[in-house]
Structure 1
Amino acid sequence: MITFRRSLIAAVFLLACFYLLRSSHSVAHIKSPSTTLSNSAPGRVNVQVGSTNKKHQTTQQQQQVHLSAEELSKKSLRERLRYQFPYGLQSKFPAYIWQTWKYTPASGSFGENLRPFEASWTEWHPGFIHEVVSDENVIYLLKYLYAAFPEVLEAYESLPLPVLRADFFRYLILLARGGIYTDIDTYVLKPSTEWLPEQVDRSKVGLIIGIEADPDRPDWAEWYSRRIQFCQWTIQSKPGHPILRDVVATITEDTLRMKHAGILSKRKMDKSIVEFTGPAVWTDAIFRYFNNPAYFDVAKGPNRRNITAMDFTGMTVQRKVGDVVVLPITSFSPGVQQMGAGEPDDPMAFVKHEFEGTWKSANDRAIGHQE
């Protein structure tokens, strides 16, 4: 008979395995990304060939300096996250697939309608570690990974809605371990090994994201939070990516601010779900990164040229911006029949999101919606 104690021991063992696997692949170096946008011939990936930020490159390539517990405690949350989860650009994408749901597939309560979706990720990614973490066990995994960050754990446990916790989890797990996070109601059309063209050097890519919305219409702000909105139901990343570090710190700070102000409840928050943990905060973090002079020379100097939504509207092939590859709307949103998205049989269609059985209703995705 499986007792609670045996289950707990098994869970600890699995987490230890994750740690050992992660440790064997971790790299504490980073090369600065190239920095300019460029156009290429139709059907080919947009590849950047611009100048790099040499100062940042030199600093990041140095061996990580060991800090004492006292020294580390004086650092900001972002600095401590950077120290705890160093970004190794030249490392491989970890072979993890992360999902979260109310139950694991081993449970009889796991929805039969979701089994083909979940199974598609295992079938198309042989050799990957595929984990569906139940709602009940997420906190134990996070306590293991973020033991040094009590404010992050406090923020997660304080979130008043399942959708908020599910959003936060994807950023947290990718920051700490990397790999692919994907919602439980997504279906693989092409494996992740085919998301980038063969000519793209994966040792120079640390994050792969897709466009969720590209509303080229005058009233776009009535329907979407941003002119270009990046989706967060499927993300592939190497651990420690600066965008993930930024979004984790931002959500932590906003959560604790609202909690201390007494406005963090199901029906009393000063941000909508989309702005708080959803695609709006995710999109903002991505654009902050693209326009951060610490990473990109294009964001420096008197001739500064901001990277904006207009650089991604109407995309039909992949576009590389530094160490980030942006996929067109067809890749993760095929079949939506708007905004230029192709059908699921399009060569650029990689993941189908069915919007079934998710934490978010249609109202939750609309701007201005507030629980």
Structure 2
Amino acid sequence: MLAALFHSTFYYHIGRLTEPTIHEQTNQQIATQDWRSLFPRKIWQVYLTPPKANKNSFEVDSKQLSDSASWLAHNRDYGYTLVGDDGAETLVHQHFAKNATLLRIFKELKNTGMKADLLRYMILSVKGGVYSDIDTINLKPIDSWVPEIYQKDARVVLGVEFDRLNGSNWGEVHPDMQFCQWTIAATPGHPLFSYMVDWVVTALEMFTAERETTFSELHVSSAEVMKLTGPSAWTDGVFAQLQQYEPDLRSLSDLSGLTEPRLVGDILILPIDGFGMGQAHSNSTNDGSIPNDAFVQHNFRGSWRHDKRSN
């Protein structure tokens, strides 16, 4: 029942937020500009205080930010921001103050993984630039991510995390294919991210209501985090937007097996190695080498799984 409600509610939001007059007006305004002129030279990462820690005395272990140096080294002249609790609160109140449920989520929710998921969508919605998890390594400069042929039309760059191909599915991933959200690049104001903010708020509100609990008392499994706020939810949101651009797309399997970047509307999808090299599935390069089309490597050290409100 919950899944059906998520589905119908999410697509209601998609329809409501993509009125043709708004979308056409936006396209007209940016039609003569390209990725380089619209894309903010900003890098965003998030580190929220763990639930058991005292926010007044907590300090980040610098070792946990060792991978962040790669982003600075490859992208000189880019601004870098590590968003913490105060920065998250400021963003919410400055740009989303009219959304009472969202304000309650950030005030009450204990699960830092879910809050970090929501934050990346919010940041990219209003600020643009590149969001990437702190356990990612930047392999090549951001300026090289969008091929020349797509510079005029690309507004979002994303990668594949899982591609079932002819193999079996994995337990917690989206059937057939999953887009990663450990790294995302976008120009500000893209409707995909307002969809995702709406999606997460609605999903969490419905989930807590069905469980007869509150945001502050919410207990979730890692699989539920994936479906409510994480890459599975992200994949649903992305695919719904892709279908707005190409109605002939019937399932995620229609995008399976990419070996070159594919532009759908204004969303550029990178093949598996773009952001997902080094994995033992999906035809990801996993022989110790770094392929030419690899831009990011994920080290899968997510600490959110150990939050006390995660299980």
TM-score interval for Structure 1 and Structure 2 normalised by the shorter chain: 0.7 to 0.9
1:310 pairs with one of 236, 247, 253:
253
Within 5 A, what are the aligned runs for 1:1-371?
Answer: 56=20, 60-62=23-25, 90=33, 92-102=38-48, 109-201=59-151, 203-217=152-166, 219-220=168-169, 222=171, 224-261=173-210, 262-264=212-214, 265-267=217-219, 272-292=224-244, 296=245, 298-299=246-247, 305-343=248-286, 344-356=289-301, 358-360=303-305, 371=311
Question: Where does the alignment leave 5 or more consecutive residues of structure 2 unmatched?
Answer: 1-18, 50-56
**SS of residue matched to 2:102:** helix
Question: Where does the alignment leave 5 or more consecutive residues of structure 1 unmatched?
Answer: 1-54, 65-86, 300-304, 364-369
1:149 is displaced (CA, Å) by: 2.7
**How far apart, in 2, do the equivalents of 1:236 and 1:360 lie?**
25
**Inter-CA distance 338–256: structure 2 relative to 1 (3 Å threshold):** closer
Contact 1:97 1:128 in 2 (8 A): yes
**Inter-CA distance 159–188: structure 2 relative to 1 (3 Å threshold):** same
Aligned length in residues: 274
Which range is displaced more, 152-161 or 231-240? Answer: 152-161
**How far apart, in 1, do the equivalents of 2:26 and 2:203 lie?**
32
Q: Identity percentage over the alignment? A: 29
**How far apart, in 1, do the equivalents of 2:305 and 2:292 lie?**
29
Aligned to 2:53: none
Contact 1:159 1:255 in 2 (8 A): no
**Inter-CA distance 134–62: structure 2 relative to 1 (3 Å threshold):** closer
**SS of residue matched to 2:207:** helix
- 1:319-343: per-residue Cα shift (whole Å, max 9, x none)? 1111000011111111113220124
- 1:103-144: per-residue Cα shift (whole Å, max 9, x none)? 7xxx99433333331111112111111000123542223212
- Give the TM-score normalised by the residue count of structure 2: 0.78
Aligned to 2:11: none
- 1:32-71: per-residue Cα shift (whole Å, max 9, x none)? xxxxxxxxxxxxxxxxxxxxxxx94x6544489xxxxxxx
1:316 is displaced (CA, Å) by: 1.8
Code of the residue aligned with 1:345 in structure 2: it is I
**How far apart, in 2, do the equivalents of 1:285 and 1:157 lie?**
25
**SS of residue matched to 2:137:** strand
**How far apart, in 2, do the equivalents of 1:252 and 1:338 lie?**
32
**Inter-CA distance 88–98: structure 2 relative to 1 (3 Å threshold):** farther
**SS of residue matched to 2:119:** helix
Code of the residue aligned with 1:239 in structure 2: it is P
Code of the residue aligned with 1:277 in structure 2: it is T
- 1:176-224: per-residue Cα shift (whole Å, max 9, x none)? 11111000111110011111222222x3111000000012355415452
**How far apart, in 2, do the equivalents of 1:324 and 1:171 lie?**
15
**How far apart, in 2, do the equivalents of 1:224 and 1:173 lie?**
24
**SS of residue matched to 1:199:** helix
- 1:154-174: per-residue Cα shift (whole Å, max 9, x none)? 233343311111111101111
Contact 2:162 2:281 in 1 (8 A): no
Structure possessing the higher radius of gyration over alpha carbons:
1
- Give the TM-score normalised by the residue count of structure 1: 0.66
**SS of residue matched to 1:306:** coil
